[in-house]
Amino acid sequence: MKATPVELIPVESSMLSAIGYDAEAKELVAVFRSGGTWRYRGVPQETYEGLLVASSKGSYMHAHVLNVFEDYRVSR
């Protein structure tokens, strides 16, 4: 299954460089500063919107995304 390209939004974060969301597939896309791009399956739009406005993107990812949703690596 080929991932649909999504628009990535640059973010201010020591953990992430950009994020995006595929509303049709309900997938959050995260580009990490440490390298690699990951997609998280089954993410509600509200979770993505919360990440967009979170003062600490890394803390939000740890609390609401990492080890919560199934993930897969799409690059590097």
Cα–Cα distance measured from residue 1 to residue 3, given in angstroms and rounded to the nearest whole number: 6
Q: Which one-letter DSSP state was computed for residue 15?
A: S
Q: Which one-letter DSSP state was computed for residue 34?
A: T
Whether 4 shows a pLDDT value over 60: the answer reads yes
Question: Using an 8 Å Cβ cutoff, are 29 and 41 in contact?
Answer: no
How large is the average pLDDT for residues 4-23? 95
Question: Using an 8 Å Cβ cutoff, are 40 and 30 in contact?
Answer: yes
Q: How far is residue 57 CA from its own chain's centroid?
A: 10
0.85 surpassed by pTM: yes
